[in-house]
Structure 1
Amino acid sequence: MSELLRVENLHVSVGGKELLHGINLTVNKGEVHVIMGVNGAGKSTLLHAIMGNPVYKITEGHIYFEGQEITGLSVDKRAKLGIFLSFQNPISVAGITMENFIRTAKTTISGKQQRLFPFKRLMKARMEDLSMDPSYADRYLNDGFSGGERKKSEILQMRILDPKLAMLDETDSGLDVDAVRIVSKNISEYHNENNSLLIITHLNQILKFITPEFVHVLIDGRIVKEGGPELVDEIETNGFDAYRSEV
């Protein structure tokens, strides 16, 4: 398989405190990777560091994307390369509609102007796939949206932007069973042999519908256990305390 993402000996600090202590991770095209761990283990920190969030300072190590080192690249440049991050707690943005936001993002990332009516048809179809009220397209981004609709908004962006690497931060949290099924179906329809998924899940709901090839257990800023999908069942049975001795 062709390598898409490689993280080497990554150390990340926030506010002078080191949160990641030497992370190594390789994701090839077509793969689904899941990162699991207790709250505060550093899962979101890893995704934000890969995305280039300047709050998360890389003090040591390297990040490569399709063989190119991106450790020092800004967020917008990483997005143009094909990296996408779905937020754990999506914020609202007053003054810009969801349709205009996604259309502008698609134009910027693809480098091609998105014609209005073809884009409207695409967005309508994707919203129908997600069982979203079509009127939300004309509302300010996430403004007044429920928690579930905000998560669907993130997946809508992913479907339309069609990134090479989609990083999903607890997309299944706050969703009811039906919404998890709908979101999971859309993630599965997005995923193919030319892109990859890096998923953080705390509740494991999404893993009932999407089976990962690789599972990584993150404890106190270190990957302490790696395996296949069977590791999910092991964690559900034994919890994370069983891995603390390996830190």
Structure 2
Amino acid sequence: MLNYLERYAFKERRQLVTIGSLGYAPSGIGSDVELGQCVIGAAAESGSIVKVSDMSRVRRLNAAVRDSSSDENRTRSIVLPGMPDAMSQIAVPLIVAGVVRGALFFESRARLAFTKADEAALSIIARQAALALAFSERNSEEAEVGRRAVQLSPATDRTIHVAHHRFDDSIFIDGNYVIKGVAGRLLAFMLDQHLTSGRNEFTNREIRLDSGLRLPDFKDNLETRLLLLRRRLEEKRLPIRLIRLGRGRIGFEVEGRVRLSREGA
């Protein structure tokens, strides 16, 4: 039986980021995996299925790494989720046109849990997931919507303190670490637009074309990054949320008055 599933997609050239999970609390959405690190990074780096059938020798090391990163506000990192008593793990790369786009990861409490038949079935699922990621990217850029200030945000006098640290683009909301990197820049961009012009509706197209965001110059899935950011805000139950308004359109909802501060060069 497959106990848990995590879905990873590339964040930077040498990293993957968790964009979805089932069975974990917290979900670990936004956590990073270096290429070559653990079975997930190894599968993405090699483009091949990587499987471990007896985790008893490496469980203690994994637990130590996980515990050392438990304070998000201090480390500015999100803990990679995992079963502390997992005995079997398998990671299957997501490949489209010969290019690795991410990886699916499964783990089980049983030894020797994943058979050859499981590998074949998961390979089919991975191919479909990879194609879905590629399709969402091609169909994310829809017609531009008018730059109007649509009132999506509930009226409230609450003050929301947001700190943007420029050196790593990490974002803290009311003292709580949220996200960093490209996703942090995306959130800072929307906050800027909201504060300066009252905007709370954006399109993928305008985000891609904004040079100030310094988006990676290689083919990348903006839709995936926005999904990651939306899920992270929801999981933290923060007063700032992203809402999907339609293909290529994003709503920005704020429950209060934002006070944005910036630190670093």
Which TM class, normalised by the smaller chain length?
A: under 0.3
| Structure of greater relative contact order (alpha carbons < 8 Å, 6+ residues apart) | 1
Which structure dedicates a bigger proportion of its chain to helix?
Answer: 1
Bigger Rg, structure 1 or 2: 2
